[in-house]
Each structure stands twice: as structure tokens, then as C-alpha cells.
Structure 1
């Protein structure tokens, strides 16, 4: 019987072991997300609209909902964050057609509303810092976190140019080594510290967009747990009183 139990346990854990063994790629940098930092969220919203929204959309988020949550005045929303003839009640989409994405980048350009949910904030933060020069790619850049990425570096003028760092080893002539890191070789308009802050603000904003109710849900969850704890105490003493004469 014990053999069957052991075999069943191994069968259940095999997919997890395979997943862990197949986890190739660099170690992600930790994004210090703070959804209570409205200033960071506001900056992230501006970065997204100005640098990302030409291609990527947030089709599950409305402009006025975002402005209300982030404390953005209506006049600033209309002046700085709404592009074209969109209205505050519209969802945050663009006019880019799916077939244009396939034509220009080889694939449809994804909506980013849930990117930090199906990737993770750490992944997005690390990805935006991991572009490096690669002449073999169509746009001259590659990415350490997302190898052979089709998207050009959207912040190259801000971050600057990075070159790959290869693993040590004996390589045949003309053979490229395994990229294990990147290093800055030509500074951009921002210092590395300023660029890190910018990327963190953008990641913070995308994390908010993926789950706008997260802070409210956590707060509500605490109250629910406190309520259940109180009800448990009342139910315990009620049970003791009810069964007192029987026992």
C-alpha cells in the first residue's frame, strides 16, 4: 500500500519538477511595487500613454476610472493623457490594426491590461531593462529576458545602448556565446538610476491596471477575517451555553 501512495505522490509532483527543471532564463530583478504611491502611478500612466500606447492598448481600463483611482484632475486627464478624439469614458485603446502588428513586427501586438498578471511585475521590470545590441535581429536589438523579441527598444534614447555580456567558455571561430547579462556602453538621456525609477513607475502602473481593486480587496479581506474571528468566538461560547446542561 505504501508503494502505491509513494508512486501517486511522485506522479503528482512530476509536473512541478519538470517545470522547475525547464526554467531557463536570467534571474528576474525584483520590482518594488507600491500601489499606494499615487505619484509613481501617475508618472507611470504618463509614460505608458506617451511611449507605449501607440502600439499597446489597455482595453479593460477606462480613462476616467484611471483618473479617479490615481487622483488625476479632469483637466489634466484631457490635456495630457487622452490622445486624439477619445472621451474620458472610453477604454484605453488605439487605432493600430492587428494585421499591422503582424506586418511590422511578425505578430499581433498584445494588449497590456493583464501583462503583470500573466507575466509578473518582476518580469516586466526586468524585461524593460534587458535590451541589448544584436545586429542579427531586424531592429538591431535583442532582450535578455525575452530572447528574439520582435519589439524594438521603446526607451533606447532614455536608457542608452547596452551590449551583451557572454558566459566564459571556449567557442569556435565566429560562434556567439550564451548571453548572461548586459552592460551600458552608451548613456542615454537618463542616468541608470533615473531610468530604473522610470521603469519602476511604469511597472507599478501596469500592476495597478491589472487589478485596480487589489488594495480594496486586501482591506476588505482583513475585515472579513476579523468578522469571522469574532463570529467564531461568539459561536464557541453559544455552543458552550447551549450544551452546558447536556454535558
Structure 2
């Protein structure tokens, strides 16, 4: 019983994360782990906009550089901001207690966020911030209501505002969230921002399982071996049972 209780509380944060944004339709994230350029752009976006608060402490800089085709000298010069060595784990410099004081809770490590949340959830979440003066950071999120983080990608997207539509529910007209539209003052257009978010999602999916492509390639070889072994097994069975039949 004690072990079950410990396991329950260990998994509780994952259940809480998965529960956010119930009822919100998620947009499809068409990421591509074979697109090294997209992964490199995603890593750059993560290190410049997310790594200040969120770490990916189960990855190492040199492994990421190797997998994504980034020369280690460029990784050190452009993507390592904490004085860490290229073989170190990717931990940021924010003290957990200080971060908890600023945001109400310490920002979670994002190494496995794509496996916990799913790529579609992250893609929709990063495109669902909108202005809400009632919130501490002045923004809210359709996918994660009462979100506790600022919209760090706002300089790229511009100021997003929530637009409502009128629907009839039970004979009464009610306003429901319809769309989020940027004011156009960001560095990127809507299409460019969506692509930047998709690149970031691509990187986070890679972070959650760096060997996914290798595992899939090995899977085809294993299945091929099983098929060939099955054929030989059937032929051998026929040979052994030929006299019986």
C-alpha cells in the first residue's frame, strides 16, 4: 500500500499537466524529426526564449549538437549561456526557490514535456496566449486557463487578443472564445510565428526521445527478421511433420 501511495503522488503532477485545457480543440502539429534545419531552429528558439526558466536536464549539450548536426564550437558560442561545458547536462541557472517565489511554482523541466502533454497540446498552447489584465503577467491561455507563466514569445508574435463569437445555448445568446489575433507588432508574421512554434515543438519531441528515429529504423529490421524466421520455421515444421501427414 505504501508503494502504491508513493507511486500515485509521483504521477500526480503528470495527471495534473494532462488535465489542463479540457474541451479545447487541439491543432495538429505536423513536426518532422528528420528535418535537421527545423530542429536546429527549434533548439535556438528554446535556448533563447525558454531556457531562462525551463531546463532540459536529462540532455547533454554535446549530444544535442551531435544529433542535430550543430558543430560543437557553434553550440558553445551561441547556445550555451551558463558557462557550462559541452558535456554537461542542460540545466539553467535559475534557483528553484527563487523561481517558485516569482511564478508561484518552480518552472518544470521540459525534457519529457512532449511525451507527457503531446506535440499537439504544446503547439496549440504556445499559440493560445491572449491579453488578460486580470492575470499577474497580463496574459491568459485558452489551453491552460489561469496559466502562471508570461508569454515569452510575445516579441515574436505580437500582442495577441481574444475575439469572441455569439452562440445560442439553451435559447440564450452567449459569447464564446472564437479566435486569437495578433496586433501585428511582432517580429514575425502569423505564418512565420506558427512555423517557429512548430520548430520548437519539433525540438521538444526530439528531446523526449532522442533515439526515436533509430528505434523505428531498428524496428523495421526486427520485423523483417521475424518474417524471414517465420518462413524458415514453417518450412522446418513441414519437413519434420512430412512423414506424419
How high is the TM-score relative to the length of structure 2? 0.86
Is this contact kept in 1: 2:21–2:143, CA < 8 A? no
Structure 2 residue matching 1:118: 3-state secondary structure = helix
Q: CA deviation at 1:167?
A: 4.2
Q: What corresponds to 1:185 in structure 2?
A: 183
Q: Does 2:40 correspond to 1:42?
A: yes
Structure 1 residues 23 and 51 mapped into 2: Cα distance closer, same or farther (>3 Å)?
Answer: closer
Q: What corresponds to 2:65 in structure 1?
A: 67
Query: Number of residues paired by the alignment?
Result: 222
Counterpart CA distance in 2 for 1:181 and 1:146 is 15
Q: Does 2:239 correspond to 1:246?
A: no
Structure 2 residue matching 1:28: 3-state secondary structure = coil
Is this contact kept in 1: 2:56–2:111, CA < 8 A? yes
Q: What corresponds to 1:166 in structure 2?
A: 164
Is this contact kept in 2: 1:144–1:180, CA < 8 A? no
Q: What corresponds to 1:235 in structure 2?
A: 233
Structure 1 residues 104 and 193 mapped into 2: Cα distance closer, same or farther (>3 Å)?
Answer: same
Gaps of 5+ in 2: 1-19, 169-173
Q: What corresponds to 1:157 in structure 2?
A: 155
Q: What corresponds to 1:7 in structure 2?
A: none
Cα RMSD for the two superposed structures: 1.8
Q: Which runs of structure 1 show a deviation greater than 4 angstroms over 4 or more consecutive aligned residues?
A: none
Q: CA deviation at 1:209?
A: 0.5
Counterpart CA distance in 1 for 2:150 and 2:21 is 25
1:146-183: CA deviation from partner (whole Å, max 9, x where unpaired): 1110000001111011111224258xxxxx95434312
Q: Does 2:205 correspond to 1:202?
A: no
Q: CA deviation at 1:245?
A: 0.6
Q: What corresponds to 1:111 in structure 2?
A: 109
How high is the TM-score relative to the length of structure 1? 0.86
Counterpart CA distance in 2 for 1:242 and 1:60 is 53
Q: What corresponds to 2:221 in structure 1?
A: 223
Structure 1 residue matching 2:62: 3-state secondary structure = helix
Q: What corresponds to 2:4 in structure 1?
A: none
Q: What corresponds to 1:135 in structure 2?
A: 133
1:45-65: CA deviation from partner (whole Å, max 9, x where unpaired): 111111110100001000000
Structure 2 residue matching 1:168: 3-state secondary structure = strand
